[in-house]
Structure 1
């Protein structure tokens, strides 16, 4: 090993130890139990199937009672942990730009009637027309993306969506706080390239771009293929008949090529997976807003939010599915060929966050615990994020412990699950601030007595009416009341 490689590993080891010490300082109650629970999450063999199995790991020196006690009654300074994660080294795009992906991942709890704050989560089925709304806890997650084909992302924030919340408003506030923390941590300086925020089709990208005004960010979102946009306001021409001048230009209908006109920029790229990829861009298109839904209470005249519409078409899909063009909206204007290529490449990199969700759920067992309290669920979510951050920092230190049937991989290109496989060997080299447990004392045991006659309170899934008020079950639907006579 060369001297440069040794220095890089020493620096990575120091960064990992520094984060572990800062993470321990963020734990204000039951800190030793919560810290060792995170170590057990990192060092246990195989995927996490149940929460109590983590108490059997050698890194968890306490009993299973301390495990549940830490999650239910422990305290975690989430704001301080957010700032700590933001201060760690973050991945960037090829041009040195920070690229953030925002998406919602649900923690499904369909049978947990005693859990409060549940909402209806949109899930995708395996068959056609199998989209369902299942009760659970949806979490909005912001992650930093890196360049190239990879399954690594840096999770920066996670917020549980309350029932009836405005997704665009919550996303705007979340992204604004993340950007402000990035600036405060020195991850972005005046004169750097603007931060790119990538959204999927479920977000109102123009509205989010309007609400994020004043920040050094650009918004890139996906649009449905049946949308209509308007061109810029045409120059005012004297009309002898009078009348109000037009506020919007001609229509740009996604499904009608006759309305597209001349493109602002066109790029053609040969790709390995999709064949020839053609991207067309049209400048200064906007949506004609009306005073309804989110703009109902807007003060003053409705804004005109102009941007660039990009149409991406490829020759074929690797899966052999239906080949349809992808429509994107970018908040920037006067796009060049380099801007168009960067936008659609960044949108493809957004799917890396799906690999992160799969890692959190299938390997780290994020949604495996059957916790009753939503506060305990938030606490466990941030423990999983802290574990994932440690895996990312340990990426340069990991050794490939591959199975006989697995292909050889370079150490710096290991997937998160394979880095976790060798984390137990790194655990002895990094800082471990948790104190040793005290000698246990045998308790008196559970005293004999009657069974629990106070069942837990049951909560309905959060539903909100169009007026913004919480849904209340009608009196004739409540248990123990007679049905209303209808005839």
Structure 2
């Protein structure tokens, strides 16, 4: 059966491939064919030199590493080409962006600069590890329905000492501005929804992006304490007017009161879901941490708090309630129902991270400099974008033990399995290699008298030693 969207999908794929090639300003042929080899390799990518043995990579392994070491990518042009393509949307037509940080662990790379201590979970339950590596912030557009597809739009490495909140705000501003420029959002459309996990300061992120048509939805820790709106001022009251109302303690149900919206839903993976929301709650900000340099009085950032309680988890663990904070107030039942479902879709970005690392081989190369790692990360992002654009064009080359999938419902790994057939139809803008001879290299018997410089791992230290209390108390501030 002919797919009416196949023609436009084929045109989008061809246009992106040519624009991707034009964004490679140096060593373009080597970098482009390296991305081709990632897409056409049989099985997961385990080693970069093995990619040079494929027929689509017409250059040797030396040209492969020379492209990563000395190549150049016009990141702005490549990012614009990615944003220009079709993007997934939520059920109500709005764009939902998820932002998260994933780490490229390099514990033994003592000669690689720019490493920081990255957070990781251990094999044991509730075990947290700190491993040296390169953290990367990725922004991806989410889609609705039962699917593991996302649309990664931007990738940025967090440099040592950089403020993660500021870097994330600048990255989101760059992506949202590109969406508006490309016509994905127009006046009158629903606001773009930004979904993030508990590691992000949602109120501060909403304050920094207040001039953009976005709304922020973040998960908050279960020990937070927010404040209600200021009660009406009583006449003839002595003293300064109050800025904050009564407390809303996440861990104390006695402070909650009656919810403004209550929803009883049913989910396929998590069973019955109880959703409750409370309107106009804000954190009590102080001139500390992120707000140290704020000039003037601190703002009152009111929002809506949503509590999500599910019956079960796919892993079998006991579920804990999830607390969400949304940057808008006075929301109706339909919007509250969309918010908690959008947050559950945020976990799709974890499937993208797993595909990047385990199938496309994002973290398998042993690169020396972070600039080479950035270059390789953009190549992997461009390769995944081609898989997404070829989603409706690929043929299902399923294994005998796999279930058949209808057109357009293939997973990214199964689309990659048949991409080598689509490559012949889309064409390649890369030129044929010129004959050359390898260099002489180091003369036999001569040692390397210029050893590589060893770099320390960047560690954020505290000026005061903190001891963990045996009786933890709720956080009194934002």
* Common fold: TM-score over 0.5: yes
**Residue number among 461, 466, 473 corresponding to 2:457 in the alignment:** 461
Q: Which residue of 2 aligns with 1:339?
A: 335
The alpha-carbon deviation at position 128 of structure 1 amounts to: 2.4
Establish whether residue 66 from structure 1 lines up as the match of residue 27 from structure 2: no
**Residue number among 351, 355, 363 corresponding to 1:367 in the alignment:** 363
Whole-angstrom distance in 1 between the partners of 2:358 and 2:387:
15
Deviations 1:356-412 (A, max 9, x none): 000000000000000001110000000000000000000000111111111111121
Q: Which residue of 1 aligns with 2:474?
A: none
The alpha-carbon deviation at position 449 of structure 1 amounts to: 4.8
Establish whether residue 451 from structure 1 lines up as the match of residue 451 from structure 2: no
Whole-angstrom distance in 1 between the partners of 2:445 and 2:25:
35
CA contact (8 A) 1:264 1:334 kept: no
The alpha-carbon deviation at position 150 of structure 1 amounts to: 1.0
TM-score by length of 2: 0.95
CA contact (8 A) 1:275 1:314 kept: yes
Q: Map 1:306-345 onto structure 2 (within 5 A).
A: 306-345=302-341
**Residue number among 284, 299, 311 corresponding to 1:303 in the alignment:** 299
Whole-angstrom distance in 1 between the partners of 2:419 and 2:310:
41
**Residue number among 26, 39, 50 corresponding to 2:23 in the alignment:** 26
Classify the secondary structure of the residue corresponding to 1:267: strand
Structure 2 regions of 5+ residues with no counterpart? 464-478
Q: Which residue of 2 aligns with 1:148?
A: 145
Q: Map 1:103-252 onto structure 2 (within 5 A).
A: 103-239=100-236, 242-252=238-248
Whole-angstrom distance in 2 between the partners of 1:132 and 1:457:
26
Whole-angstrom distance in 2 between the partners of 1:121 and 1:443:
39
User: Aligned residues, how many?
Assistant: 463
Q: Which residue of 1 aligns with 2:344?
A: 348
Deviations 1:175-207 (A, max 9, x none): 011100111111111111000000001110111
Whole-angstrom distance in 2 between the partners of 1:369 and 1:426:
27
Establish whether residue 441 from structure 1 lines up as the match of residue 437 from structure 2: yes
Whole-angstrom distance in 2 between the partners of 1:277 and 1:8:
36
Classify the secondary structure of the residue corresponding to 1:41: helix
Classify the secondary structure of the residue corresponding to 2:323: strand
The alpha-carbon deviation at position 442 of structure 1 amounts to: 5.8
Q: Which residue of 2 aligns with 1:78?
A: 75
Establish whether residue 289 from structure 1 lines up as the match of residue 285 from structure 2: yes
Deviations 1:228-272 (A, max 9, x none): 1100011000245x1222211000011111111121111111222
CA contact (8 A) 1:264 1:335 kept: no
Establish whether residue 13 from structure 1 lines up as the match of residue 10 from structure 2: yes
The alpha-carbon deviation at position 129 of structure 1 amounts to: 3.5
Whole-angstrom distance in 2 between the partners of 1:439 and 1:317:
58
The alpha-carbon deviation at position 445 of structure 1 amounts to: 5.5
Classify the secondary structure of the residue corresponding to 1:413: coil
Whole-angstrom distance in 2 between the partners of 1:105 and 1:275:
29
Point out the more displaced range, 369-378 or 254-263: 254-263
Classify the secondary structure of the residue corresponding to 1:36: helix
**Residue number among 405, 417, 423 corresponding to 1:427 in the alignment:** 423
CA contact (8 A) 1:100 1:144 kept: yes
The alpha-carbon deviation at position 432 of structure 1 amounts to: 0.5
Deviations 1:106-151 (A, max 9, x none): 0000000000111111011121242111100000000000001211
Classify the secondary structure of the residue corresponding to 2:307: strand
Classify the secondary structure of the residue corresponding to 2:306: strand
Q: Which residue of 2 aligns with 1:258?
A: 254
Structure 1 regions of 5+ residues with no counterpart? 468-487
Whole-angstrom distance in 2 between the partners of 1:465 and 1:300:
29
Whole-angstrom distance in 2 between the partners of 1:317 and 1:466:
37
CA contact (8 A) 1:156 1:178 kept: yes
Whole-angstrom distance in 1 between the partners of 2:286 and 2:7:
58
Whole-angstrom distance in 2 between the partners of 1:364 and 1:441:
30
Query: Residues 442, 285 of structure 1: CA spacing in aligned structure 2 closer, same or farther, 3 A cutoff?
Result: closer
CA contact (8 A) 1:279 1:311 kept: yes
Q: Which residue of 1 aligns with 2:467?
A: none
The alpha-carbon deviation at position 319 of structure 1 amounts to: 2.4
Q: Which residue of 2 aligns with 1:95?
A: 92
Whole-angstrom distance in 2 between the partners of 1:446 and 1:204:
52
Point out the more displaced range, 14-23 or 449-458: 449-458
Deviations 1:265-308 (A, max 9, x none): 11111222222211101000000111111111110001110000
TM-score by length of 1: 0.93
